[in-house]
């Protein structure tokens, strides 16, 4: 069914593949990525395995998958296309927005995109301010106001490890 999904993909899409039963086999590889790149697809998120990892890196086609396996699969199993799927315990509906980077992927439901965009920009601004303060030598304990609470919890500084009571 991935072949059917490839045919339906459009420029700017991210292909999402979920199998009907657990599968670690490498359903997705360089040949699918080649076809998808030609269609303008910008990546893939899989609940199954991926193969041809070196080739995928070389062609700069990003794929997020829990498994890597050289084991291929059959090509003539029926499934659904443009239907809700669950990947990594997260429900993904057609039209939802996927945001992914080297740290992983997250699904933003279609009706939450604008609120998420606003929150994300606010967080980026706050992190830029924090980064600037860290670059001046401030420490997270002061920036985040942690000192009082840690003292309340019993944090004590020791000048030498030997002075710690067991």
What is the C-alpha to C-alpha distance for residues 69 and 25, in angstroms, rounded to an integer? 5
Tokens, residue 18: 């979920």
Query: What pTM does this model have?
Result: 0.74
Tens of pLDDT along 49-89? Answer: 999 999 999 999 999 998 999 887 777 777 888 999 999 88
What is the C-alpha to C-alpha distance for residues 100 and 165, in angstroms, rounded to an integer? 46
- 122 with 69: CB under 8 angstroms? no
Where the chain has pLDDT below 70, the residues are: 161-166
In terms of Cα–Cα distance, which of 78, 79, 109 is closest to 91? 109
What is the C-alpha to C-alpha distance for residues 95 and 128, in angstroms, rounded to an integer? 31
């Amino acid at each position: 069914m991935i072949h059917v999904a490839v045919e339906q993909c459009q420029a700017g899409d991210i292909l999402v593949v979920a199998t009907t039963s657990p599968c670690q086999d490498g359903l997705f590889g360089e040949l699918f990525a080649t076809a998808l790149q030609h269609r303008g697809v910008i990546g893939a998120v899989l609940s199954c395995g991926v193969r041809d990892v070196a080739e995928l890196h070389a062609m700069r086609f990003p794929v997020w998958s829990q498994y890597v396996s050289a084991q291929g699969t059959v090509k003539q199993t029926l499934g659904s296309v443009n239907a809700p799927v669950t990947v990594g315990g997260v429900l993904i509906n057609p039209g939802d927005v996927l945001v992914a980077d080297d740290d992983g992927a997250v699904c933003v439901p279609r009706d939450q995109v604008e609120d998420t965009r606003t929150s994300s920009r606010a967080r980026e601004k706050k992190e830029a301010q924090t980064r600037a303060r860290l670059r001046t030598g401030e420490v997270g304990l002061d920036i985040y106001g942690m000192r009082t609470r840690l003292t309340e919890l019993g944090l004590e500084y020791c000048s030498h490890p030997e002075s710690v009571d067991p």
